[in-house]
Amino acid sequence: MNGSHALSTEEVRACPLCGSTDKEVLFMGLRDRFFGVPGEWTYKRCQRCTLIFLDPRPTREDIGKAYTVYSTHALVELPDNLPRRLRSYVRGGYLANKFGYGTGVNRLQRLAGWLAYLHPGQREYMNGSIMYLPACHRGSVLDVGCGAGETLDELRRLGWEVEGVDPDPVAVANAVRNRGLKVRVGTLEDQSYPPDHFDAVVLSHTIEHVHDPVSLLRECRRVLRPGSLLVVATPNTESVGSGHFGPDWRVLEPPRHLTLFSRKTLSQAARAAGLSLLELRTTVRGADGVFTESRELRAVRTAGESLIKQEPAPVLERLKGYAYQYVVSMALWALPNAGEELLMVATK
């Protein structure tokens, strides 16, 4: 995106979670150093509930301009090489052992699946690739904010009946044309699904992008069958990386991330939506990338440059990221809020 398409903005008069008008500036003068959306942005924190939100923020009518180019909505072709095949083999055994997806998995592959426990970061990627859904819940699943459909494609392979919705027409076209998935364009509220319709609803790094997160959770609850699962993954504002990097924390990502949660505020949002919590914890999924890209953001800002380079990090930096991920995974035993990602599992 070039800098010629300014976004219309609106003031956030009241906290999107608790409605308080008592707020304080947390970070100001932030710029989009990933995709070049013009403007300087400010995050504020509610002094009543501690929710962090962008203020002012893009309007609903203009927010789409911030996604003209967006990395998660394109199809990614991964190489078919020996390391990838080995990872796939281990992953199949792990998913059989952990979640019950055992069809076609023999004893040797199940044994290989235990190797996943040697690398906590890869293990969380495996968990996240199916949004932590156990095989015993198989039925219909809706992915809200599904992008190009990578998660849906995997869940379909494991026997789920899949459907998705995403506001980005380019992402939806990729999901439909290239993967043959059933995906609709728009927001969840636009679709008017019947109540009690899905056996599971998943939101992988979606809730932070919406103007009214509680309303979204309420709609998720409405379309869920009683006793079914809602799984939400979103950045954690109390992570080690958030505290260390401050305004350079990778997952602030203005102006696309409108609302950012802690365990406390995500739990409060779930209760406000009428959901019953089953699990709420932090994970290290993506912590390696958060670490390396936060370091790059800090370097770019310090040097006065406008954009980070969209290219793989040097080997040494990637190794530092893996080390950070491993250390944080060990720290979770004593510091449960340390992980970069929040995982919430709730039910109706």
Amino acid at 325: Q
Sign of the Cα torsion 324, 327, 331, 336 reads positive
SS3 66: helix
Asked whether residue 30 is domain-assigned, the answer is yes
Domain count, the chain: 1
Give the max Cα distance, the chain.
59
Locate all alpha helices (DSSP H) within 224-311, ordered by sequence. Answer: 240-245, 263-272, 287-303
Q: Taking a C-beta distance cutoff of 8 angstroms, is the pair 338, 249 a contact? A: no
Asked whether residue 56 is domain-assigned, the answer is yes
* pLDDT number for residue 78: 66
- CA-to-CA separations, 21 to 17, 48, 181, in angstroms, rounded: 11, 9, 43
* pLDDT number for residue 2: 39
**Distance between CA atoms of 320 and 326, rounded to whole angstroms?**
10
Asked whether residue 248 is domain-assigned, the answer is no
Query: What's the CA dihedral at 10, 13, 17, 19 to 10 degrees?
Result: -160
* pLDDT number for residue 75: 62
Q: Taking a C-beta distance cutoff of 8 angstroms, is the pair 165, 191 a contact? A: yes
Asked whether residue 258 is domain-assigned, the answer is no
* pLDDT number for residue 4: 41
- CA-to-CA separations, 60 to 7, 78, 167, 210, 285, in angstroms, rounded: 10, 34, 11, 9, 29
Asked whether residue 184 is domain-assigned, the answer is no
Q: What is the pLDDT of residues 322-335, one digit of tens each?
A: 999 999 999 999 99
Asked whether residue 237 is domain-assigned, the answer is no
Q: What is the pLDDT of residues 257-296, one digit of tens each?
A: 999 999 999 999 999 999 999 999 999 999 999 999 999 9
Q: How many CB atoms within 10 Å of residue 72? A: 16
Q: What is the pLDDT of residues 144-154, one digit of tens each?
A: 999 999 999 99
* Tokens at 144, concatenated: 């809200």
103-131 burial, b at 16+ Cβ within 10 Å, e below that, comes to eebeeebeebbebbeebbbbbbbbbbbbb
pLDDT band at 3 (very low <50, low <70, confident <90, very high): very low
Whether the pLDDT of residue 309 is over 90: the answer is no
* pLDDT number for residue 81: 87
Asked whether residue 269 is domain-assigned, the answer is no
Q: Which residues contact 7 (CB under 8 A, 6 or more apart)?
A: 37, 38, 39, 58, 59, 62, 63, 65, 66, 255
Q: What is the pLDDT of residues 164-182, one digit of tens each?
A: 999 999 899 999 999 999 9
Q: What is the pLDDT of residues 290-305, one digit of tens each?
A: 999 999 999 999 998 8
Select from 138, 143, 142 the least CA-distant residue to 157. 138
Residue 152's φ and ψ, nearest 5 degrees, are: -60, -40
Q: Taking a C-beta distance cutoff of 8 angstroms, is the pair 85, 72 a contact? A: no
Q: Are strands 259-260 and 341-347 parallel, antiparallel or unpaired?
A: unpaired
Mean pLDDT is lowest, of 131-140, 168-177, 213-222, for 168-177
pTM: 0.94
More confident residue, 123 or 74: 123
Asked whether residue 123 is domain-assigned, the answer is no
| 183 CA to centre of own chain | 18
The residue segments making up the domain with residue 34 are 9-71
**Distance between CA atoms of 218 and 180, rounded to whole angstroms?**
29
Q: What is the pLDDT of residues 40-49, one digit of tens each?
A: 999 999 999 9
